[in-house]
Amino acid sequence: MDANELVKVYIKIRDAKAAKSAEMEAELKVLQDQMDMVEQELLEICKTTGQDGGKTQFGSFTRSVKTRYWPSDWDAMYRFIKEHDAPELLERRVSQTNFKEFLQANPDKLPESMNVESKYSITVRRAK
């Protein structure tokens, strides 16, 4: 096949994939909404009875507290981490964009433990 035909086929497959994804997302949203309604009812049962869960003939349910933390001021958070020597408060992942920019400005400053992988990829755009 030539490049013209390959791009045509690629776009057709990508469009079919997007349509299937949208259809599945809509179906999953309906199911998630239904699960959320049932969850709210179970939470209400826990609230009313003062229990943290229960057992039924079909299974059990448990109420738990999930807490999330996030800063509204990252500069203040960085100062806090430095002040308390607590880098473990951050997740272990590198900002790909920021690290790439850092290396472009400082090509001789690659940390010993840093792994780097570069590979070619193809981007296909639809003709207008």
pTM of the model: 0.69
Are 63 and 52 in contact by the 8 Å Cβ rule? The answer is yes
Is the predicted pLDDT of residue 50 greater than 90, yes or no? yes
pLDDT in tens, 11-44: 999 999 999 999 999 999 999 999 999 999 999 9
Are 104 and 110 in contact by the 8 Å Cβ rule? The answer is no
Extended strands (E) in the chain: 53-55, 60-62
126: left (phi over 0), alpha (psi -120 to 50) or beta: beta
pLDDT in tens, 107-120: 999 998 999 999 99
